[in-house]
Structure 1
Amino acid sequence: MIFCSLYSGSSGNSIFVSSGEAKILVDVGLPGKSIEAALKEISECPSEIDGIFITHEHSDHIKGVGVLSRKYDIPVYANERTWIAMGSSIGKIKEHNIKIMDKKVISIKDMDIVNYSIPHDAACPVGYSIHYKGKKVSIATDLGCFTEEVKTNIKDSDLILLESNHDVEMLKFGPYPYPLKRRILSDIGHLSNEACGIAIADITNHNPKKIVLGHLSKTNNYPDLAYQTVVNVLNDKNIKLDRDVFLTMADRGKPSSYHEL
């Protein structure tokens, strides 16, 4: 299985995952041309994408969905409430490409995609765990808090893209208006660097995990700060890098964290 974050951050998000036979995108939060360029950079072709899976309807996750689906005739998978919430934003999708997820597991060729609820201020937001031949990758961003449901769904993954959105002090004293700060800090907002570290510690067991830190705020975070804050939390809990956890960062503006499992 191949995993690659094409873009990750408050400016837009998209993730590529492939198995032996199937290729999918999770979210398309940038213009179609940007996604095409990113796929070309990792030697993948958008016309070979078997499906686009949507986490929720916010613009940094759906901006290019309609364009890619129409241009390459790609099915789009989302639950019913998310379809209703994003319908006016993505334009007309061909009827046969409107895939309403009404069950927990969607199988595409040799890949199984499991969706689970996440705590975020959207209509019906979900994360995804993707299975292929005993390997599992999970995507857990846009989390106001690290719930038991999220933990249960991602804890046994081989690789996890986990949100490390903001530094709390930068957010509190930054330029955002007070209502937006409250929203981000709430249990349906975004996961802070420290909370991300605590979550990683909570799921670390005797099996080493690859963790990709993603969805960083452009205004309220820095990659080095996010990384070091997480490392400090792990050190405090006697969790060692490159032994218990292998930590990398998802880049905001280009493909990164390319992993073959």
Structure 2
Amino acid sequence: MRVSVLASGSTGNTSLIETKQHKILMDAGLSGKKTKQLLKDIGVDIHDIDMVFLSHDHSDHSKGLGVLMRRYPKLAAFANDGTWKYLNESQKIGKLPVDQINVIESGQTKTFGDLDITAFATSHDAAKPQYYVFTSGGKRIAFLTDTGYVSQRVKAVIADCDAYLMEFNYDDLMLRNGPYSWPLKQRILSDVGHLSNLDAGQALLDVVTSRTKHIFLAHLSQHNNTAKLAYDAAKEIMINGDANLPSDVKIVMTNASAPTSLIQI
């Protein structure tokens, strides 16, 4: 299994998961044109994408999905029933082709050839948010952003993965002293908001094991965080702390507008 985080941040989120049989997008928060270009940058033809898995309806995760579905009719799109209902009723990403809509609910695992996908519910102020663990060839990667906290139930699902893409959204002091209105700060800090650098690191501390080789730091706020603060927090907690990690574990920074390399998981 290979993974590239094409873009991650407040302006849009999309990642590629590649197995021998599939090329999958995790979220579609960029324009179709931008998604096509970023895939090309890592040597992948957008026509080879066969599935998209959507986490929730917020535009930085979903705004490109309608265009992709309409432009590429062989593309199968997956989300839970609550997310599809909201997107269809709101028409926020346009009219969706019914025959490309597929449902995966939290708690379900679906198998597609050499790939298993397990969905799990998260805590965020969207219609019905959920994220996924992708398993192929004995390797597992968990994607988790846009959640106000990480429950014990979620930790049980994502424990012992080879790789994690985890939200490191904000530095607490930057957020509290920053330009956002107090209601917006309260929303981000709430149980249906986002994870701070400290929250994310502490959650990872409970789930990583000696098999974990890659940790992607994702969804950094452009106003309330910096790459250095996120990296230093992760390193302090995960590397210098008590995490049961191998000595060659890699902390990978993601970018809001440029892809990571295709990384073998």
TM-score by length of 2: 0.93
Q: What is aligned with 2:94?
A: 91
Q: Is the 2:210–2:246 Cα contact (8 Å) retained in structure 1?
A: no
Deviates more, 1:183-192 or 1:90-99: 90-99
Structure 1 residue 253 and structure 2 residue 257: aligned? yes
Q: Deviations over 1:83-119 (max 9, x none)?
A: 1122211111222101122471222232111110111
- Secondary structure of 2:27's partner? strand
CA shift at 1:53, angstroms? 0.7
- Which amino acid is the alignment partner of residue 80 of structure 2? N
Q: Percent identity?
A: 39
Q: How far apart are residue 203 of structure 1 and its match?
A: 1.7
Distance 1:19 1:183, change over 3 A: same
1:218 aligns with 222
In the TM superposition, what are the counterparts of 1:89-168 in structure 2 within 5 Å?
A: 89-102=92-105, 104-168=108-172
- After superposition, the Cα gap between the structure-2 partners of 1:239 and 1:99, relative to the gap in structure 1 and judged at 3 Å, is closer
Deviation of the 1:242 alpha carbon: 6.1
Asked whether the equivalents of residues 211 and 245 of structure 2 are also in contact (C-alpha less than 8 Å), the reply is no
Q: What runs of 5+ residues in structure 1 fail to find an aligned partner?
A: none
Partner SS state of residue 89, structure 1? coil
Match of 2:236 in 1: 232
Structure-2 residue corresponding to 1:46: 46
**How many residues in Structure 1 have an aligned counterpart in Structure 2?**
261
The secondary structure found in structure 2 opposite 1:28 is coil
Q: Provide, for residues 217-251 of structure 1, a one-character-per-residue CA deviation record: whole Å limited to 9, x for no partner.
A: 01101111110122222356344876174211111
- TM-superposed deviation, 1:182: 0.5
Check conservation: 1:208, 1:243, Cα contact below 8 A.
Answer: no
Distance 2:245 2:140 in 1: 21
Instruction: Look up the SS of the partner of 2:16 in the other structure.
Output: strand
**How many angstroms apart in 2 are the aligned matches of 1:249 and 1:154?**
20
C-alpha distance in structure 1 between counterparts of 2:86 and 2:109, whole Å: 22
The letter for the 1-side match of 2:81 is: E
Instruction: Please list every run of 5 or more consecutive structure 2 residues that lacks an aligned counterpart in the other structure.
Output: none
Query: Which amino acid in the other structure matches residue 219 of structure 2?
Result: H
CA contact (8 A) 2:212 2:245 kept: no
CA, structure 1 residues 16+7, in 2 after alignment: closer, same or farther (shift >3 Å)? same
- Which residue is 1:82 aligned to? 83
Segment of structure 1 superposing worse, 71-80 or 31-40: 71-80
Distance in 2 separating the partners of 1:191 and 1:84 = 27
Change (3 A) 1:239 1:82: same
Q: Do the aligned partners of 2:208 and 2:244 also contact (CA within 8 Å) in 1?
A: no
SS at match of 2:157: helix
- Render the CA deviation track for 1:47-84: whole Å, top value 9, x for unaligned: 11111110000000011101111111112111110011
What is the CA deviation profile of residues 30-51 of structure 1, one whole-angstrom value per residue up to 9, with x for unaligned ones? Answer: 1110100011011111111111
Aligned to 1:35: 35
Task: Output the aligned Cα RMSD.
Answer: 1.7
CA distance in 2, matches of 1:205, 1:34: 35
Change (3 A) 1:236 1:21: closer
Rounded to whole Å, the distance in 2 between the matches of 1:229 and 1:19 is 32
CA drift at 1:165: 0.3
Letter in 1 for 2:185: K
